[in-house]
Chains A and B, each alone.
Chain A
């Protein structure tokens, strides 16, 4: 409702002034002020184009875009993670014209930016994945194996500190542990959740809560504010939160690779931050203005500034600053990024999260055992994929 009112107000204002209004919606809370500032600078360079930047939570953003796809109030540009390209049909995304496609990108990256071999996303940054942070006040030597974390739990408890802040009920966090046991979420545009590896992951995830290493009620506040306040020794949070964590914890903040378990390592699910264009915006009347804005945002200097500030990796490289290349945190992010796996932009991939969450919650609630929970995940994911394929 708020966005509708805002859009109406802007529309009326621009109608009076005769300027073109571009609506940009995004999900990156940490970059909201930077995007707004950049948009404002763009508008000052292009006075005939007014840009409205609107921040929405990820799930709400997706639903709102899909709902508004055929509405006049629909956004012109969305800045979102690349795996959401799987919603391309529902969001009525514009296929990128050639001039917006960066053909120099590696093939796997190109694949992650494509839905059914068509380019829909203009990449801004890579490195959108989860990281293992720790507070040096409590951790002198970060663990390399999950068993060490289990062992150290009682030590931390004696110090009045929780061990690991984990957004426990979010499937994106659970996906880390699914990967630890080799569970592949989707393959060849099909959900592959009903596996023994998934069952092992569910059991391991449950063990984290049962042993007190993690708390099942831990949420977003836990991985950010509580961790910043020193209540947790370790926290798993997204790379998008790194700048905030650094600002709050200062030199106490450390980043380390995810621990291994019985020789297996975690490859966090990663994506690109991309610009996409719903409601076939690039084929509409504002296509030229949109392209100008895209070009402006993708200027290396702009991307580099934002990347340096938020420990992101710009997709268009300028000469890397000395500071960025030697910052230990940045180097750790890079190291973890190299060990990450890009999520494919498929309908199956975007369909797994709902089922995965319900399955893990049912398992946590002891309503289903691991096998039934995995089966439930699969069934739900398949149904969501079918609905997605069928459209609204």
Chain B
């Protein structure tokens, strides 16, 4: 992800959330771990204490039930209820009150001394089979007015069906029975005159005791209840391997020995509150983080809003809208930036208007300059054409003069030879006519005429060669047509044509290249290029008193183009001169009548006529070389 593609808003939100989340999570994790370590043992102890507390609480309730029953048994209305139906409602209300307060008792019974069930709560118990109770009741009744409250443990499966119908199997058939004698006395003192009218009986299922204990100890598993080492509950599941076994003594009022209750507390269950707390803490942390996220988003939104507005302002400035009024922002920093931007915009606006004025002015000036330049250029082009034409005329003149010069010598020599021959002929003819011809004279005549004829022939041949050469150059320069030509011969002929000019200097020319290669191109252009280069060397590079060389070589490059190298050992030129040599009318010998067009013509011929390129290498005192690279069609390939 590229930094540039990240939203600043998202970055701020991530920064905000991470800034809050990481410390929170680290701190939370540390605290939870510490807390868990500390609480583990505490929870185990707490579970153990809870089981003890549950047993104490149950013992208290049993004691309370016993006391309530005892108190009711002392109520004469209860005693009367055993012997008269008139008192039944009152007794029933009392029993209902106790039953409501003591759900531990599965049934509360009020019996008369003939085992008649006068009242029972719940009403189902009215039809309870009392066979199991009768021995205990008989013992109680036998004691008559001396009877006291008793508690006993009965195995009475008959009670289960009626009183524990809704309980789940397996059930314990053990029942705890509390017996309270009902006595009626005329006085406050129980004495032999007192009458035992019946008994109050509370039936407490061991099963119900178990349920109550389990209710009090939701985190512990009750394994069994023992009385005198005898288990009172059916076999239950074994304790888990990680369980902690605890025992507690349940004191039952009226019973000789206490119940022993065994609990198994699973460590996992014991630690459940811590686990729950951990989850709760995690949830709270998550909520807190969520709150932070929302808060972060809101804050960032609040922070980003002015940035976005500022960005919009900047965009408008960027679009050139400098006229927008200054925007106001809720934060000082943004307000300052907006203020600065607004000031900048105002100044930019001023500068822009100023610049626009200047640009318009400059544009008008440039427009005028361009127009002037165009006009000047037109004039220059015109002048250039005139000069080129003039140069052409000049070169034709040079050519004609050269032709005249070259032709003059052989023609003169031929005329002289012809005149001498004519003179000798006339002398011979006269001598013959006078018969004065002498052998010696005739021999001289023959010798002289032979020499004259030889000279004449030599001079005429020489003239013919010159004429052929001039003709060839003249034809090439006139037509500028592509044609096939032997490059070596052509370059030789060009050099030959410049023999007069070269004769003014002590110059040795050397042409290196394949002598049979024939190319198709514009030979006139080649001639004019070489002529100009050589005249340029003579005029600007050579001293008449010194011996100079001109080397001319050519070769075909791998890409098929022709490379011609022209080199002299003249004076060379400085770098600044070299940089301008192809410019038209640039010359360092204007005082000598140079036009400054020679190399410019060369450049134009190479680049425009021949579609090639030309490079100059030179340094003062090191001579000058030109390398021409020209596209040509090779007709006869070099060897």
Q: Do A and B bind each other?
A: yes
Residues of chain A having any CB pair with chain B under 8 Å: 59-60, 62-63, 66-67, 87, 90, 350-351, 354-355, 358, 361-362, 365, 367-368, 376, 380, 383-384, 387-388, 392
Partner of B90, one of A59, A87, A350, A365: A59
| CA–CA, A365 and B123, complex, Å | 8
In the complex, chain A residues whose CB is within 8 Å of the CB of B89? 59-60, 63, 354
Contacts A67-B80, A90-B86 known; A383 to B116 CB distance under 8 Å?
A: yes
Q: Is B83 a contact of A392 with CB atoms below 8 Å?
A: yes
| Interchain nearest-CB distance for A181 vs B (Å) | 23
Q: Is A365 a contact of B76 with CB atoms below 8 Å?
A: no
* In the assembled complex, B560 has its CB within 8 A of some CB on chain A: no
| Interchain nearest-CB distance for A227 vs B (Å) | 24
Q: Is A62 a contact of B86 with CB atoms below 8 Å?
A: yes
Q: Is A376 a contact of B86 with CB atoms below 8 Å?
A: no
The listed residue with most B CB atoms (<10 A of its CB), out of A355, A362, A388, is A362
Q: Is B80 a contact of A362 with CB atoms below 8 Å?
A: no
Q: Is B80 a contact of A358 with CB atoms below 8 Å?
A: no
Q: Is A63 a contact of B87 with CB atoms below 8 Å?
A: yes
In the complex, chain B residues whose CB is within 8 Å of the CB of A355? 85
Q: A354-B85, A392-B80 are in contact. List 6 more A-B contacts (CB 8 A).
A: A59-B89, A67-B80, A351-B85, A354-B88, A354-B89, A367-B162
In the complex, chain B residues whose CB is within 8 Å of the CB of A367? 123-124, 126-127, 162
* In the assembled complex, B367 has its CB within 8 A of some CB on chain A: no
Interface residues of B in 74-132 (CB under 8 A from A): 76-77, 80, 83-90, 116, 122-124, 126-127
In the complex, chain A residues whose CB is within 8 Å of the CB of B86? 62-63, 66, 87, 90, 350, 388
Residue in chain B with minimal CB distance to A358: B126
29 A-B Cβ contacts within 8 A? Answer: A59-B90, A60-B89, A62-B86, A63-B77, A63-B86, A63-B87, A66-B84, A66-B87, A67-B76, A87-B86, A90-B84, A350-B86, A351-B85, A354-B85, A354-B89, A358-B123, A361-B123, A362-B123, A362-B127, A365-B122, A365-B123, A365-B124, A367-B123, A367-B124, A367-B127, A383-B85, A387-B84, A388-B86, A392-B83
| CA–CA, A362 and B126, complex, Å | 8
| CA–CA, A354 and B88, complex, Å | 7
The listed residue with most B CB atoms (<10 A of its CB), out of A59, A354, A362, is A354
| CA–CA, A368 and B128, complex, Å | 11
Residue in chain A with minimal CB distance to B87: A63
Partner of A387, one of B83, B124, B126, B162: B83
Residues of chain B having any CB pair with chain A under 8 Å: 76-77, 80, 83-90, 116, 122-124, 126-127, 162
Q: Is A362 a contact of B84 with CB atoms below 8 Å?
A: no
| CA–CA, A351 and B84, complex, Å | 10
In the complex, chain A residues whose CB is within 8 Å of the CB of B84? 66, 90, 384, 387-388, 392
The listed residue with most A CB atoms (<10 A of its CB), out of B80, B86, B116, B126, is B86
Residue in chain B with minimal CB distance to A384: B85
| CA–CA, A354 and B110, complex, Å | 14
| CA–CA, A60 and B87, complex, Å | 8
In the complex, chain B residues whose CB is within 8 Å of the CB of A384? 84-85, 88
In the complex, chain B residues whose CB is within 8 Å of the CB of A392? 80, 83-84
The listed residue with most B CB atoms (<10 A of its CB), out of A87, A367, A380, is A367
| CA–CA, A228 and B100, complex, Å | 28
Partner of B124, one of A59, A62, A362, A383: A362
| CA–CA, A383 and B82, complex, Å | 11
Residue in chain A with minimal CB distance to B91: A63
In the complex, chain A residues whose CB is within 8 Å of the CB of B122? 365
| Interchain nearest-CB distance for B330 vs A (Å) | 57
In the complex, chain B residues whose CB is within 8 Å of the CB of A387? 83-85
Q: Is A388 a contact of B123 with CB atoms below 8 Å?
A: no
In the complex, chain B residues whose CB is within 8 Å of the CB of A60? 89-90
| CA–CA, A368 and B125, complex, Å | 11
| CA–CA, A383 and B122, complex, Å | 21
In the complex, chain B residues whose CB is within 8 Å of the CB of A63? 77, 80, 86-87, 89-90
The listed residue with most B CB atoms (<10 A of its CB), out of A66, A358, A384, is A358
Q: Is A388 a contact of B85 with CB atoms below 8 Å?
A: yes
Shortest Cβ-Cβ A-B pairs, 5 listed? A384-B85, A59-B89, A361-B123, A354-B85, A367-B124
| Interchain nearest-CB distance for A346 vs B (Å) | 14
| CA–CA, A59 and B89, complex, Å | 7
Residue in chain B with minimal CB distance to A70: B186
In the complex, chain A residues whose CB is within 8 Å of the CB of B162? 367
Residue in chain B with minimal CB distance to A59: B89
| CA–CA, A109 and B442, complex, Å | 222
In the complex, chain A residues whose CB is within 8 Å of the CB of B76? 67
| CA–CA, A358 and B126, complex, Å | 8
| Interchain nearest-CB distance for A331 vs B (Å) | 35
Residue in chain B with minimal CB distance to A60: B90
| Interchain nearest-CB distance for A89 vs B (Å) | 12
| Interchain nearest-CB distance for A122 vs B (Å) | 22
| Interchain nearest-CB distance for A167 vs B (Å) | 14
| Interchain nearest-CB distance for A193 vs B (Å) | 13
Residue in chain A with minimal CB distance to B162: A367
| Interchain nearest-CB distance for B310 vs A (Å) | 64
Residue in chain B with minimal CB distance to A380: B85
Residue in chain A with minimal CB distance to B77: A63
| Interchain nearest-CB distance for B303 vs A (Å) | 57
Partner of B127, one of A59, A87, A350, A376: A376
The listed residue with most A CB atoms (<10 A of its CB), out of B77, B90, B123, B124, is B123
In the complex, chain A residues whose CB is within 8 Å of the CB of B90? 59-60, 63
Residue in chain B with minimal CB distance to A372: B127
| Interchain nearest-CB distance for B144 vs A (Å) | 18
| Interchain nearest-CB distance for B457 vs A (Å) | 155
Residue in chain A with minimal CB distance to B124: A367
| CA–CA, A362 and B117, complex, Å | 14
| CA–CA, A75 and B88, complex, Å | 21
The listed residue with most B CB atoms (<10 A of its CB), out of A67, A351, A387, is A387
Q: Is A368 a contact of B127 with CB atoms below 8 Å?
A: yes
| CA–CA, A368 and B77, complex, Å | 28
| Interchain nearest-CB distance for A73 vs B (Å) | 14
| Interchain nearest-CB distance for B432 vs A (Å) | 179
| Interchain nearest-CB distance for A91 vs B (Å) | 10
Residue in chain A with minimal CB distance to B88: A354
Residue in chain B with minimal CB distance to A355: B85
| CA–CA, A63 and B77, complex, Å | 8
| Interchain nearest-CB distance for B86 vs A (Å) | 6
| CA–CA, A383 and B85, complex, Å | 8
In the complex, chain A residues whose CB is within 8 Å of the CB of B126? 358, 361-362, 367, 376
| CA–CA, A365 and B166, complex, Å | 13
| CA–CA, A281 and B219, complex, Å | 66
In the complex, chain A residues whose CB is within 8 Å of the CB of B85? 351, 354-355, 380, 383-384, 387-388
| Interchain nearest-CB distance for B158 vs A (Å) | 14
| CA–CA, A384 and B82, complex, Å | 10
The listed residue with most B CB atoms (<10 A of its CB), out of A59, A63, A362, is A63
| CA–CA, A40 and B162, complex, Å | 55
In the complex, chain A residues whose CB is within 8 Å of the CB of B123? 358, 361-362, 365, 367
| Interchain nearest-CB distance for A367 vs B (Å) | 5
Residue in chain A with minimal CB distance to B127: A367
| Interchain nearest-CB distance for B185 vs A (Å) | 13
| Interchain nearest-CB distance for A365 vs B (Å) | 5
Residue in chain A with minimal CB distance to B83: A387
In the complex, chain B residues whose CB is within 8 Å of the CB of A383? 85, 116
| CA–CA, A4 and B88, complex, Å | 22
| CA–CA, A364 and B535, complex, Å | 148
Residue in chain B with minimal CB distance to A390: B83
In the complex, chain B residues whose CB is within 8 Å of the CB of A90? 84, 86
| Interchain nearest-CB distance for B438 vs A (Å) | 183
In the complex, chain A residues whose CB is within 8 Å of the CB of B80? 63, 67, 392
| CA–CA, A380 and B123, complex, Å | 14
Residue in chain B with minimal CB distance to A368: B127
| CA–CA, A361 and B125, complex, Å | 11
| CA–CA, A60 and B123, complex, Å | 21
Residue in chain B with minimal CB distance to A364: B123
| CA–CA, A392 and B126, complex, Å | 23
